[in-house]
Structure 1
Amino acid sequence: MHRTRRVGAVAMAAMLVTVALAGCTGAATFTNPILDVANDPYVIKDGSHYLLVESAGGGISVTKSPENNLTGIAGGDRTQVWTTPSEGPNCADVWAPELHHVDGKWYIYYAATTCDGDNTNHRMFVLESEGDDPLGPYIDRGKIADQNDRWAIDGTRFEFGDRAYFAWSGWPGSTDGQQNLYIAEMTSPTTLEGAGVLISEPTLDFERQTMPINEGPQAIVTDDKVFLVYSASASWTDDYGYGMLTGSGDDLLDPSSWQKSPESVFAKTDDVFGPGHGSFTTSPDGKEDWMVYHSARYSGAGWDRMMNAQRFTWKDGVPDFGTPVGEKEQPVPSGQVAAPGS
């Protein structure tokens, strides 16, 4: 099985966030990593707090950040919101949960498999909050699948125009060896319509290192486009990095609506390895765009990962992610709580 992941508990005490004063300006800074142990980090802004959802402790947990503090999220309050059942199709290898707010409810989408840990049985599942509290309680709504009901992981939800979509990574058949990206329309937050449409295969060199993989799709939506950022190549290698699809038009279920960037849009450097499978949010005051992603602890570390944050910008209407920022000071997000005494 290629994708068994380390999903240890959040190491709160190991948080390496640094807040310092830079000269007389009182500008606060931080240093990556912002969380010492992390896989596939998904962060969403909820009012004056950020929420980090993780697969940990035999289930799924949500960490609520200190107020107006993205880079200090590891110091927040953590709540176990769901525990894996002792039997059934979703009792082992819980991967890459995501948290979404839809019509006054919270939904957690996650991949899981049967109790024997057989990777071929991985499917997507969904939890629904009973009320409007992201910390639960949650109801298990079971599997969320298209009519083909094949191997599926890394599902994400987004809206464009007046339609809601679900994108995920799946095998083209019934055996491991390649992962593609598929999309389907959602008729509700827990239901997909029809068969998934293939929108990306790993055909480019940067997508085929060690194994041809497209996974971890994340949508950045503007008025007229969807930038679907995905992770490419084998996740356990230094070559893991981001690719990007750009979708536009009235029907994102039409494969011709999507155009692939010809090169990786975020790749390893001399000191950051395997950057990928993260999420996108904004600064506390909403003036800046930020990305949160994992990277390998060192070259060759595989799934031994940590969580990083950095700002991204735009160029000619397209996200510009730059290069991964390693262990050096960066300004904290705009509007983040200032350092004491500043």
Structure 2
Amino acid sequence: MRDYHTDFQEPFIAQRADPLIYKHTDGHYYFTASVPEYDRIELRRSATLAGLREAEPVVIWRKYETGPLSANIWAPEIHHIDGKWYVYFAAARTTETQDGLFDHRIFVLENGSANPTEGTWEEKGQLRTAWESFALDATSFEHRGVRYLVWAQKDPNIPGNSNLYISEMSNPWTLRGKQTMIATPEHDWEIIGFKVNEGPAVLKRDGRIFISFSASATDFNYCMSHLAASEDADLLDAASWTKTPKPLLKTDETLGMFGPGHNSFTKTDDGAEDVLVFHARNYKEITGDPLYDPNRHTYVRVLKWHDDGTPDYEGSVRLVQVK
């Protein structure tokens, strides 16, 4: 694989925000992300990480003309659970007075084919949470035989745009039991433009579970930090999670990196190292609403680690990483 340097004028994949790269046991990588038109879900497949750059995108689902799945298709994620493929994504409805902005709900697709770029994707419907309110950015993980969902949602009783929640699942499209808020925007770097904690991604290493997340508006103020919990903790207890009280990856004009965030994690081709996948822009000034600026690009960097065992996001983007 060619080198990827700190030159943010050369993204891994251009104009793809909220990127998710999943390395499956079939030896292939799968890539999905928000497209600038917000009108469809695409999937790429490759035997190597580098190959995703040139892989032909396959459209697996398109938005409807009307109804709750008709606007702003955001942040799809693909997961393989119990022998089937699932895609979590957020969608809103178009009305006569507005375009569905901030009216999102979480939806789920299912495909039983071995290769998810083939076969039929079935709509499993809306993933219901405690409130009928703005919800997005669902991700799923398994820990000690229990499957969990982590997502972002607005609690109607809490000021702000979105908090992070965790719940157990009874199946890949249904929650069970209590839903716990594990993070809410509280620091000055989390409330610029909007009060946001969103885009969770889960990484387990050396006895700890990390949940990275993004905060603030989607312009150059967008940034990343994370929560951490012991692998032995009760993950449904909010007290088990500690938020790092500062941004761990943020705009760096010396690199030409603006508004990094909404990340995921994958592995190098040999499986030996974790890889940080995230989006950012390579310029600061944006005309109009940042959500409709198409140039949030996907970047990948091998993930470095601090001596204390925590991820070094900032250090990861500064080095020649993936070969």
Which of the five TM-score ranges fits, normalised by the shorter chain?
0.7 to 0.9
Q: Distance in 1 between matches of 2:251 and 2:100?
A: 31
Matched, 1:63 2:44: yes
Q: Where does structure 2 lack aligned partners over 5 or more consecutive residues?
A: none
Q: Distance in 1 between matches of 2:321 and 2:213?
A: 26
Matched, 1:317 2:309: yes
Q: Distance in 1 between matches of 2:69 and 2:213?
A: 24
Across the two proteins, how many residue pairs are aligned to each other? 302
**Is the contact between residue 213 and residue 263 of structure 2 (CA under 8 Å) also seen in structure 1?**
no
Name the SS of the counterpart of 2:272 in structure 1: coil
Q: Distance in 2 between matches of 1:153 and 1:85?
A: 18
Q: Distance in 1 between matches of 2:177 and 2:304?
A: 36
Matched, 1:278 2:263: yes
Provide, for residues 199-243 of structure 1, a one-character-per-residue CA deviation record: whole Å limited to 9, x for no partner.
Answer: 1111112212222210100000236321000001111x2121111
Matched, 1:245 2:235: no
Q: Distance in 1 between matches of 2:297 and 2:179?
A: 32
Q: Distance in 2 between matches of 1:241 and 1:115?
A: 29
Cα RMSD, aligned residues only? 2.2
Letter in 2 for 1:317: G
Q: Tell me which residue corresponds to 2:277.
A: 292
Question: How far apart are residue 291 of structure 1 and its match?
Answer: 1.0
Q: Where does structure 1 lack aligned partners over 5 or more consecutive residues?
A: 1-18, 20-27, 334-342
Matched, 1:259 2:242: yes
Cα pair distance change 1:86/1:41, threshold 3 Å: same
**Is the contact between residue 83 and residue 112 of structure 2 (CA under 8 Å) also seen in structure 1?**
no
**Is the contact between residue 19 and residue 34 of structure 2 (CA under 8 Å) also seen in structure 1?**
no
Provide, for residues 120-149 of structure 1, a one-character-per-residue CA deviation record: whole Å limited to 9, x for no partner.
Answer: 531000000032322142100000022323
Q: Distance in 2 between matches of 1:259 and 1:162?
A: 23
Q: Tell me which residue corresponds to 2:4.
A: 30
Letter in 2 for 1:124: I
Provide, for residues 148-197 of structure 1, a one-character-per-residue CA deviation record: whole Å limited to 9, x for no partner.
Answer: 23220111111122211111111121798432111111111110114521
| More displaced 10-residue stretch of structure 1: 316-325 or 155-164 | 316-325
Q: Tell me which residue corresponds to 2:322.
A: 332
Matched, 1:137 2:129: no
Q: Distance in 1 between matches of 2:158 and 2:60?
A: 32
Q: Distance in 1 between matches of 2:76 and 2:87?
A: 6
Of residues 102, 124, 128, the one that matches 2:81 is 102
Q: Tell me which residue corresponds to 1:305.
A: 296
Of residues 185, 190, 195, the one that matches 1:212 is 195
TM-score, normalization: structure 2? 0.86
Q: Distance in 1 between matches of 2:185 and 2:76?
A: 23
Q: Tell me which residue corresponds to 2:103.
A: 121
Letter in 2 for 1:132: A
Question: How far apart are residue 277 of structure 1 and its match?
Answer: 0.5
Q: Distance in 1 between matches of 2:159 and 2:112?
A: 36
Letter in 1 for 2:120: P
Q: Distance in 1 between matches of 2:247 and 2:102?
A: 28
Q: Distance in 2 between matches of 1:187 and 1:156?
A: 15
Q: Tell me which residue corresponds to 2:58.
A: 79
Matched, 1:44 2:29: no
